Structure formats: C-alpha cells, structure tokens
Amino acid sequence: MLPFTFILLLLHSGCLQGGQGDLRKELKGLKTEFAVRLYQTLAGSGNGTNLVISPASVSVPLELLQFGARGNTCLQLERALGYTVHGKRVHNFLRTAQAAASTSGPGTTIQLACALFVQTGTSLSSHFTEHISLWANSSLETTNFSEPNRTTAQINRWVSKFVAGGKPNEKPRNVSLERIHSTLAQIALVSTVSFRSIWQKRFAFTDTQVLSFTSTEGLILKVPMMYQTANVNYGQFQVTAKQQVGVLELPYRGSSVSLFLVLPWDKATPLAFLEPHLTASAIHIWTNSLKRIKMDVFLPRFRIQNHFNLKDVLSSLGITDLFDPFKANLKGISGQDDLYVSEAIHNARIEVLEDGTKASGTTALVLLRRSRTPIFKADRPFIFFLRESDTGSVLCIGRVTNPLE
C-alpha cells in the first residue's frame, strides 16, 4: 500500500491535472481507503461485536466543512480524506457519488443525509450556506446549546426521520450529548444513512431455516439462515501465507449497489487476524477479479444499528484542530474566530433479510446434503461492505459476529 501522504501528493500533483478517467480511479481508491481506515479504527476497539459504519455519510460533513475551514484545520480535513473539494472535477465527481448514495427506485431506498446544528444567532456566510444546500442531502438547523436536553431531542427527531424511515416500531438508538456545554458559538455535526433494498434474485421464504452459526467466542448459535442456489460472482483470495478468504457479491435490484461478503476460508481463523490486512488495494482486486459461478448460498438474516461519537476516531485520523476551541479555524463559515465542532455524531443501520416475518421448511438442508454445487456458507463471523459500483462509494462497511444481537 502507498503511504497515505504519498497518495495525497499523487492526487494533487498528478491526478488533478490528468484525464478524467485517472481522477475517477484515484478518487474511488481514496474513498475506499478512507472507508477501510474508519472500519479498522472502530474494529480495533469494538470488542469483536457486530459493527456497521457508513463511510459515505462520514465523509459528507468532512467535505462540507472544507468549504468553511481555513489554514491547518482545512489541511487536516484534506489529509484525512485524501482530497480537496475545491477542484472543479473533484467537486463534480463527489456530487455524482452523493447522488448515487441517496436514491430511491424500484426495490431500493438509500437515504444519506447530514445536518449542521448551529447556535441560534450565529450569522453564517452566504457562500457557506449555499454549499450546504447543494452538498448531498444536507441541511442547516438552528438550536440553543444552552439547553442541551432540548437540543438532544431536536437532533434525535431529525435522526429518526432517516434511520427509522418514519416507522414507529423501528426507533433508532438516541443520540447522546453528554459532553455538550453552554458556549455562544457551537456546531453539532450529525450524519446518518439508511439502506433498504430487494435482492436481484430474492431468497425464498420457505428455504430459510434455523442452522448453526459459530460466534467469535466459539458459541454455537441457532440462527435463521437464508438459502438460494444462484449464479453469483465469487472468488477465493490469499490474504496471508496461511489465510484465504472467499468473497461473494450479491447484487440488489434496480441499482448498481451490491453487498460483498468476505468470509475466512478456514473456520478457525478469527476476523481479528484478517482485519489488519483489509486494504483499498485488496478490495479493488477482489471486486474486479470475481468469476461467475453457480453456488449454494447460505446467509444469516442480520440487522445492525450502531451509534458513534466520532471525535476520537477522527482525531486518530489526524483531524484534531476541528474540535479544539482554541485551534479550530472555521472563519469561512461565519467570519468568526470562535467556532468549533462540539460533537461529531454518526448513526448507521443495515438490515439484510428476505421479505416476511417468519420462514420455515427444510429445503436448504436437503439440498446441502445432495447438491454437488460449490457452497458459500456464512456460518461464522464475516466482513461485509455495501458498494456502489459506478463511483466506488462504500455506503456501509462492517462485520457480523452474532446475527442474533
């Protein structure tokens, strides 16, 4: 893998002056690299639990802040992402990626949004507010940080519109603003993503059955396991001298979005051994080297929702001045010297299942015994990422260690 600073240098000195194809390829690689770094940072501190994060929705507010950041604050944002939003062609590519990451069509709904909650009375520059209205599904909300309970409720109402999709029985975990305090000028950045879709080839309800899944702790769980025989894109790749992974692509209907599953070939190999070897280069090779093959596919239903305060995560990626009231330089937002980001809050949710509430039958078990078709059976912890093929945007990346959680 190229050093991160070298990738940044290549983008600014070569790619931005090269052809559109080179720029597109470089930006797709940088966005994937950012996704991997986010995942690895959170995976290392997640105690082996289920995890999902949306790099697409984390990058949007960081891109947006580049329009208002100055000096070292802006430089840190550019270095963390690997690119600047101020170049025209970069700007156009990112707008295309954002449109792909916020769509609704037959069988597929993706909602990507971010909001800047700004202290009431803070005057913002017209140049910055114009970018807010144009950048992804962004909005500007006023609030009163001297009343943290009301601010928290306001943010939670906004989040619930996107994460829960307006369904009262699917309420997201509430956002916590424990570290909030009264300051004349503060901004809370909130981003969220929600994804729902129908498989290009749907799993039959009657083929789902309860099968074994071995958790990270070695526990044998009984989980609803979906099943189908299908022509899929699949590949087996060497990760280390002794470790291999199987990579399966499951496309969704009506869009270019696919779910990729990364499963350790050896059942005894924990994900913790593979995660450090997950790179943008590896993902590029995997997704471009898959072969069409007929397989028996077993995939557990799973639903994951996570809430993160990303201050520590972003700080580990080099974004530190943004959260420091004495170092933050956000003069491009309002012309004031005392603006800084008080919280960076992220909610992500993914649900993978067939339509319906219950499933029964033993068809899959019978086929498992008799079929000579190659098998992809996700009966142990695996990594997944949801990717839009045209732009390379990673909508979600995560892992499943216990489908019942």
Kindly write down the DSSP assignment for every residue of 38-74, as one continuous string: HHHHHHTTTTT--EEE-HHHHHHHHHHHHTT--HHHH
Specify the higher pLDDT residue, 218 or 102.
218
Examine the pLDDT at 101 and tell me if it is beyond 60: yes
Buried b / exposed e across 97-118, counting CB within 10 Å, b at 16+? bbebbbbeeeebebbbbbbbbb
pLDDT digits 0-9 by tens, 272-283: 888 999 999 999
Q: Are residues 221 and 297 in the same domain?
A: yes
| Confidence at 34, pLDDT banded by 50, 70, 90 | very high
Mean pLDDT throughout 19-40? 84
Examine the pLDDT at 300 and tell me if it is beyond 50: yes
pLDDT score for 330:
87
Q: Are residues 334 and 242 in the same domain?
A: no
With tokens 């931005």, the residue in question is: 16
Q: Does residue 238 lie within any of the structural domains?
A: yes
| Confidence at 110, pLDDT banded by 50, 70, 90 | confident
pLDDT score for 364:
27
Q: Are residues 344 and 223 in the same domain?
A: no
| Confidence at 188, pLDDT banded by 50, 70, 90 | confident
Residue 141: strand pairing partners: 117
pLDDT score for 71:
94
Q: Does residue 282 lie within any of the structural domains?
A: yes
Examine the pLDDT at 172 and tell me if it is beyond 60: no
| Percent of the chain whose predicted confidence (pLDDT) is above 70 | 81
Examine the pLDDT at 399 and tell me if it is beyond 90: yes
Examine the pLDDT at 341 and tell me if it is beyond 60: yes
CA–CA gap between residue 338 and residue 74 (Å, rounded)? 16
Q: CATH number, domain at 271?
A: 2.30.39.10
| Confidence at 176, pLDDT banded by 50, 70, 90 | low
Residue 267, domain extent: 205-301+352-400
Specify the higher pLDDT residue, 87 or 176.
87
This prediction's pTM: 0.84
Q: Write out the H or E segment, with its range, that includes residue 344.
A: strand 341-352
Q: Does residue 329 lie within any of the structural domains?
A: yes
Query: Which of 204-218, 294-308, 339-353 shows the lowest per-residue confidence on average (mean pLDDT)?
Result: 339-353
Residue that terminates a domain, selected from 329, 351, 373: 351
- Cα–Cα nearest to 246, from 382, 353, 365: 382
Q: CATH number, domain at 76?
A: 3.30.497.10
Question: What are φ and ψ of residue 339, in 5° steps?
Answer: -85, 140
Specify the higher pLDDT residue, 63 or 190.
63
According to the per-residue pLDDT averaged within each range, which of 20-29, 193-202, 248-257, 282-291 is highest?
Answer: 282-291
pLDDT score for 8:
26
Tell me the residue ranges of DSSP E strands in 93-242: 104-105, 108-119, 138-143, 187-197, 209-214, 220-238
Q: Write out the H or E segment, with its range, that includes residue 289.
A: none
CA–CA gap between residue 393 and residue 212 (Å, rounded)? 33
How many domains is the chain built from? Answer: 2
CA–CA gap between residue 140 and residue 274 (Å, rounded)? 40
Please say whether the beta carbons of 384 and 399 come within 8 A: yes
CB within 8 A of 154, min separation 6: which ones? 117, 141, 143
pLDDT digits 0-9 by tens, 261-275: 999 988 888 898 889
Q: Are residues 291 and 313 in the same domain?
A: no
Examine the pLDDT at 129 and tell me if it is beyond 90: no
Mean pLDDT throughout 47-68? 86
